[in-house]
Chains A and B, each alone.
Chain A
Amino acid sequence: MRSRLPQIFFALSTLALVLIVLAVWQASTPSWKTYQRNFLQLEAQGEPSAVTKAAVLATPPEIHQVMLTGLQRVDRCTTCHLGVDDPTMKNAPEPFRYHAGLGPHIPSRFGCTICHGGQGLATEKDAAHGKVDFWQTPLLTRDYIRASCGRCHKEGDVPGVPELTEGRHLFETQGCRGCHKLNGVGGSIGPDLTEEGANRRSPEWLEHHFIAPNAVSAGSPMPNFHFTSEQARALTYYMLSLTNEEMGTYYSSVRLIPSPEYGRQLFVEKNCIVCHAIGGIGAKSGPDLLGVTKQHSPEWLDEQLVNPDLVYPGSSMPEYDLETNARKALVAFMTSATPQDAQEILSGKGHTLTPEDAAIEAGKRDFARFGCAGCHGTELQGGLPNPNAQGGEVPSLLHVSDDYTKDEILAVIRNGRAPPLDKASGPTPPLYMPSWKNLLSEEDIHHIVDFLWSKQQKSKESW
């Protein structure tokens, strides 16, 4: 035994030497070096003289990275995608091809992953493209890449991406917020969507989910809204753009300019006129907005738009999930707004508002904004399947005045209600009426009931 020791010692030290040499070799031959060598050869072809050719080929290999502090990311994609900002590489093979049509989105300022997805820190192909376990955002395919525009362009029309505008519009009108929270505003029956785009859900999954929720997520209480494939695509785009990332000012400044015109558009869209008047024209439940920018600083108004209750405790003004520039635009509009504007906005509605009409109008707005329409339908028709609830579906609201008094309905909205069971032994129905008293002011609840009753009368008259 003793006599073998030197041989064992020799064998082991040789093995150690081999292993450490292997480890060094493994570390010195990453795949990106091959790509850089190939690129240099490609580049050298274009050089006129042998001297410059040799100089190009002698470039030492190194990892290129773009530090994007404003986007909180580091992109190393250009370690292999070396021709991205070189127009002479227009016809080069991938991964060296020039990226045409970027406009102001230059790679040194924006990197790659903010639009394309993938793993910017990685330097190996599969890992960098995010096609590995444990990376939530793989590269977006051609079909979905334009959804990324919505990460910075959070407001208004995004040129060339009508899907985003449509998706946002559907989200706010179909009552999605009734179940889903977005940026802190909305219900809690479904998952919070604030960071939906950052979750590892494939675009295909999302799109399929909008068309048939139960097909991809068994037992999901989400009703089938019978979206068309275009609508499903639009909503998928919108979902993919929701990442809740901190963006530096450089990137937020490329968002929509907060012009008075945009503010006016929002003023119409959010139906502000049903509570506020401008110079006496309009409704009276909120303060008159003429000259409001002279009484309050822009910061004060901005805060009021973010959180009305904080500025005026007990204010009946609801919280709107408005972007920074949207609030700025509204303030800009209020600076210039005249009674004539109000008249025009009202005449666009086709009739002048009595206080009763104003309340009904406000109720209608709240009905859409807080997502009641998500379950009860935009026309109050109800009818979403709700297994084991009485009748097996969400009740229609067209005939509530026959079965309930106003006070009873007020109580149901305030406190919520579990639907009466069809079979007592059956499973709990997935959908239920949430309690709204912490989300809606008493005034809002009354407006909604007024709105419901206005619909009742209409349906009775037509009877």
Chain B
Amino acid sequence: MILVFAETWNGQFKKSTFEAVQYASACAKAQGTQALAVVIGPASAPVESLGAHGVHKVLHLHGPEQFETAQYAALLAGVAQELNSSLIVVSGTANGRALMGALSVRAEASAISNVTALPLSYSPLRVVRGAFSSKGIETCESRLPRSVIGLIPNAIGLKDSSDSDAAFEDRKASETARATVLEQQLASGSIALPEADRVVSAGRGMKAPENWGMIEELAKTLGAATACSKPVSDIGWRPHREHVGQTGIQVNPQLYIAIGISGAIQHLAGVSSSKTIVVINSDPEAPFFKAADYGIVGDAFDVVPRLTAAFQKYLN
């Protein structure tokens, strides 16, 4: 039996959850076994939607309403031990990443994060993962009979869901939490960067924080998340959570538009797995052009509003 942690976010599943479920189902199929999705918490979670991504069964553990690392790790490890699972799949979200270390210790499993594709083999388990901040690709082998895999969001294409014949089970469950969430502060209306399909990112070329309106306008037109370079976050023009790069968020969207970012090696490390990169810079020698698919030499203040208009015209 292969387990997948079906993470909820505000009582709903995110795209990254469906990717993890699809991944686990594909692993199960390849091994001639079955996949079980484990949902923890909110009673409102639309568990039926998981069945359509190939799992044999959905186990909904009713108990804790909010994520806490030790508690969720204990709950998942309990299911893994009960079913003697060889593989536990989690999505590489903030919570998924936080969970992996605790879960692997609790479930006596190896922990392999940053995984980008289906396993190369299952016995022993061999997977491909990003390393050296995407400057390298590692083939990693588990040395234990049980493994926890962390799948990078956006790494596998989500297939259209099919008809479901999944079974559903509800169970009350609780484990001890070691920390209490006092409050959550969510940036309203923003799209979480690690799993954004499109990202509009800007750097010091924007000259001042009050000039970000046109960046947000372009992002809004494309349904994209906004991001920024390290210097921009360091000087406080934009919040740290938008910092993309080697020591910030790693992204791999379908489309990454970089505006007024020169393209330092540390920035490229965080964005190089984007499918398509568009670079807009007034300096034709900016190193980012070498890493781009499409380049425009021009002044952001001139190009960006016209680009927004061009996208609006197309999308209408």
A binds B: no
